[in-house]
Amino acid sequence: MAVTVIVIAYENRQERHWLSLSFITMYPNASATTSGAEPNKASHFTHISRPIHDPTNSSTSSSSSDASTDASDVDISIYPDGKMSLAGISLRAMLLGTSLGLLASLSLFLSTVYQTPLWRVPFFVASLSLFHFLEFYVTAQYNTRYATVSAFLLSSNGWAYNIAHGSAIVECLVSHIFWPGQTAVGRLVTVTEPFFGSSVSLLLVAGFVFLLIGQVIRTLAMAQAASNFNHHVQSQHQEGHILVNTGLYRYLRHPSYFGFFWWGLGTQLVLGNIVCFVGYSLVLWRFFSSRIKREETYLISFFGDEYVQYRKATAVGIPGI
């Protein structure tokens, strides 16, 4: 009589799983059998071993391989300390969006329900939030390689930029809290609108117009220039940099500066600031006058007579420049 023993073994060899089957057939040592088996026949051994496909292990190995390959291809500039840090960009975008929504709502509430001139302060900060968000968004959309954390322009303009905005807020608060009511100049430029009989300050209207036009033109200028726009003056001619003379650039050779200048003055008219309006006018004029002069020196070296002729045919749109 033959006896067959089946042995099943499971092994892990070099991160692969194997299943082994062993068949051992043994025959008793007998001189005669009644079952038909041959006497004194040696035991028979059969071994089968096959690897088992493990989806989990395969996926893990593949993922590890892919991860190591991908890791070597990842741009380290998108990491938290990089100039295009995804964490830094998302945090700034969230804060600017939250600020815009909350302060715009507060401004509307203070101007309609509470009816206080202090609505101007949250409106100003909301306008700043929108401005800085659009600086990054348009850069990311049309000039992606320069969509760095600094493209928000929140800190890259230096301490003077932040002091200017802080001073504007302080002047607005002080003037409306300690000296409420209109000044003599304010009364001269106030008219009564014909629909509801309310008094409307022409300075306030002009402020809204300057702010809106300035923001729209700056944003469009950045979009139309696309990869030819940069927040920093370029001293070397980059590959692919062309002279843009279509769209807004057909009429203004520095429309983004034009937009920034009038946007800045518009914010001060909305705030009702006299001192900061004069200060903004002088500082912005001096800044853009110097910057345009330096930038056009480089542009002439890049494009030669083509830029000289273009400069003669277009304006800057800022008085005295």
CB burial string 132-167: b at 16+ within 10 A, e below: bbbbbbbbbebbeebbbbbbbebeeeeeeeeebbee
Pick 185-230+242-320's CATH classification: 3.30.1480.10, 3.30.420.40, 3.40.190.10, 1.20.120.1630.
Answer: 1.20.120.1630
Closest-CA residue to 258 (of 316, 215, 302, 320): 316
Q: What secondary structure letter does DSSP report for 257?
A: H
Radius of gyration of the chain (CA): 38
Closest-CA residue to 139 (of 215, 217, 75, 230): 230
Closest-CA residue to 219 (of 290, 288, 142): 142
Domain ranges of the chain: 78-156, 185-230+242-320
Q: What secondary structure letter does DSSP report for 15?
A: T
Record the tokens describing residue 296, joined without a space.
């056009």
The span from the CA of 275 to the CA of 265, in Å, is 12
For the chain, how far is it from start to end, CA to CA, in angstroms?
113
Per-residue model confidence (pLDDT) at position 68: 52
CA atoms within 13 A on the CB side of 7: 10
Q: Are 51 and 18 within 8 A, CB to CB?
A: yes
CB burial string 283-306: b at 16+ within 10 A, e below: ebbebbeeebeebbeebeebbeee
Per-residue model confidence (pLDDT) at position 1: 59
Closest-CA residue to 255 (of 181, 191, 310, 315): 315
Record the tokens describing residue 57, joined without a space.
């292990």
The span from the CA of 267 to the CA of 221, in Å, is 20
Walk along the chain (321 residues) in steps of 10 and give the mean pLDDT of each run. 58 55 55 43 55 52 53 82 96 98 98 94 98 98 96 90 96 92 70 74 95 98 97 93 97 98 98 96 97 97 97 97 95
The string of DSSP letters for 80-91 reads TTSTT-HHHHHH
Per-residue model confidence (pLDDT) at position 4: 59
